[in-house]
Structure formats: structure tokens, C-alpha cells
Amino acid sequence: MRIAIAGGSMAGLFSAALLRRAGHEVLVFERSRSGLEGRGAGLVAQEEVFVLLRTLGLDEVSRLGVVARERIALERSGAVIQRDPRPQMQVSWDHLYVAVRMLIDDEGYHLGQAVVAAGQDAKAAWLELGDGKHVEADLVIGADGIGSAVRRTMLPGDPGPTYAGYVAWRALVPEQLLPPSAADILSGRFAFFHMPGGQALGYTVAGAQGELEPGERRYNAVWYRRTVDLARTLTDTEGRTHPFSLAPGGVSAQARDALLVAARQLLPAAFADVFAAEPQPFAQAIFDMEAPRMADGRLALIGDAAFVARPHTAMGVAKAAGDAMALALAVERGWTPEARAAFEAERVQAGRAIVGYGRRLGASLA
């Protein structure tokens, strides 16, 4: 089959790699011009990710990560009030991305190509690209994330994502930039701080090129804050309001200053130090989304284009892997109405369960 995929992050890459391996012609269209390397942090790998990596012959990637040797809870003064000696590994998002990306040749992976619409008739499906190109395929996969253009075409009346009422502020800092007092508390640990209507957490992740040696890694801090005026929070330095997130470089100096003042007032000093060490904090608003359908004729939705779960679940990548494997199986069965229905039934149920779990985990933050 000739298969066109919108979106070249985890869901798009996973399905491209599986479908190519099965002998299909696969074309991926990714909106980002520069590629996604170096932009991820860490992920908690789950069963689906291990199975997928084994299938792709990339077992070693799931063993490359940074281990947090224990979980600690801090109080506002910075004192450790709880310890849980439960080690957990954060697999490098960038390492995983690069390893799977290497399985797809450059003719199959197109950067700087935004999909603006999709469509289908009895004979073919297609993608319309921002530069006016029209790409025909036997099957079109929407793996284009929360704002999916393919979903808009496939589910025209669908309400899409619902804002959960809070925003994750993120800092991703080379570990050498942390002051020793913060590094002593945070490095190599999964640290939490709970406050009314908010939560901060952090952990050490690999460097931007997957570096794992102490001194070469990064510290990833997340601060969930209740936020009423979402449009203002997601307005960038040039006055443009973004629907879901502000990438590094998008937060104005004034908003960064306000974040740092609030961090000093409200967070343990070690977490405030991480945000102070980040010249370009970024923000990701938290949404829930459930697609009623994941397959319609020659169109399919997978990953965050279908279901968006809150990040507390740490299941976004595992969900993308599960979707990609189920979709590849349905294609192997000829993408018949029965195969499509089985894919949809299995993955809609999985997606609903994960989104529901995320709502429960985040209920106290909204």
C-alpha cells in the first residue's frame, strides 16, 4: 500500500517504521522545519514501548536512560518530608526519536511540510500540504497531534480538546547550570512538591544528544499552575496567541520575570533555582481529548491526534506505540472493514481509559 502520514513525532514515526518494515511505501509529512531532535526530555517507557522497540530491533534504546534512585517529596522550606526508594528510569525522548527516525530514509520523511487538510473518496485518500501539493495514498494516517488537521477533516463536528484549567511551565536545564545547593537535593532523584492548586516535579534526563554521563545531562522541571487567562499566558513575544503551548523562546521577558518571582514566593528554593537557570522557559497547557472514532474508510487517527491524556499518566508515548502496532496489524489484515473495526474498538477503549486516568490524577490541580 502507499501510505501518507501527517506528523513525524512518535506516533507518526512508530507507524512509519512498522509499515515500512512490512513492505509498504510510506511518506511522512512533518510541519517542523528544523526537525525534532534535541527538543524532548525523558519518558517512562511502558510495556507497549518495549514491545515496539523489540519489533523494530531497537531493544537497546529502552535500556538507555537516566535512573532516579528514589522519589522524594519536599516541603516549601526545602526539607525532604518523604522518601520512597523506588528507582525509575527516564528513557531519552531524543534518543528514541533519533533511533526510530534512522529506520526511515530521507525520501520518506519530509520536514517543513504542514498538512492543511485531508480527504478521501472511493478510490483514494489524500493530504493537502501548505505549499499547495496534493499527495494521494491508499491510506492516510493522522499522527499530527492535538491540533490535528486530519481529525478536523475526519470528524468535522468534533469539539476537540477541552482545557483542563492549568498549565505546565517547563524548564530543561544543563545540569552544570544548577547551583550546588539545588543539585545536591534534586540530581538523580524524582522530586515532588505539592501545593494548593499546583504541583512541581522534576528529574534528571539525558542530554540533548542522549548523553548519559553525569555533568552532561539535563534537569527537567515541571510546574503545574492553575491558570484562568489561558490566551494571555500563551501569547508569545510577537503578540501571537497560540492554542496549546509556547515553545522555548516564545515566553516574553515580562512573563518570565513574573514566573521567577512566583517561583521564589511559592516553590522550594531548589525548584525556583531550576527555573532561574532556564533562560527560555516554555509552557504547555493541559487538555483532555477523546475522539469518538479512529478509522473511517481510508483515514485513520493515532496518538495525540486521537486521544490527549494529561502528562501525569506518563503514557503518551506508550499510547502512541500501542496505536501504531494495532494500526500496523489492521493494515497487515488488509485494512478491511473488519480489521478497521477491530483496530478502532481496541484503541478507542485504551484511549478512553488513559484519558480518564489522567483526569483523576489531575483533579486536584484544576
Ligand X SMILES: Cc1cc2nc3c(=O)[nH]c(=O)nc-3n(C[C@H](O)[C@H](O)[C@H](O)COP(=O)(O)OP(=O)(O)OC[C@H]3O[C@@H](n4cnc5c(N)ncnc54)[C@H](O)[C@@H]3O)c2cc1C
Residues that bind ligand X (CB under 6 A): 6-12, 29-32, 36, 39-43, 93, 114-115, 143-145, 147, 149, 303-305, 316-317, 320
Tell me which residue of 112, 64, 87, 108 sits closest to 209, measured CA to CA.
Answer: 64
Please state the closest distance from residue 289 (CB atom) to ligand X, in A: 11
| Least CB distance to ligand X at residue 265 (A) | 28
Q: How far is the CB of 205 from ligand X (least distance, A)?
A: 7
When the beta carbons of 115 and 255 are compared against ligand X, the nearer one is 115
Smallest distance, ligand X to C-beta of residue 13, A: 7
Residue nearest to ligand X (CB): 303
Judged by beta carbon, residue 78 or residue 243, the one nearer ligand X is: 243
Least distance in angstroms from the C-beta of 127 to ligand X: 8
Q: Which is nearer to ligand X, 8 or 268 (CB)?
A: 8
- Residue among 119 and 147 whose Cβ is closer to ligand X: 147
Q: C-alpha dihedral over 26, 32, 35, 40, to 10 degrees?
A: -110
Q: Nearest approach, Cβ of 180 to ligand X (angstroms)? A: 26
CA distance 290 to 155: 11
- Output 117 or 195, the one with its CB closest to ligand X: 117
From CA 117, how far away is CA 297, in angstroms rounded? Answer: 16
Crossing angle of helices 316-332 and 10-21, rounded to 10°: 30
Rounded least distance, CB 26 to ligand X, Å: 15
- Shortest separation between residue 181's beta carbon and ligand X, angstroms: 26
Q: Closest CB to ligand X among 13 and 263?
A: 13
Q: In terms of CB distance, is 82 or 160 closer to ligand X?
A: 160
Q: Which is nearer to ligand X, 245 or 252 (CB)?
A: 245
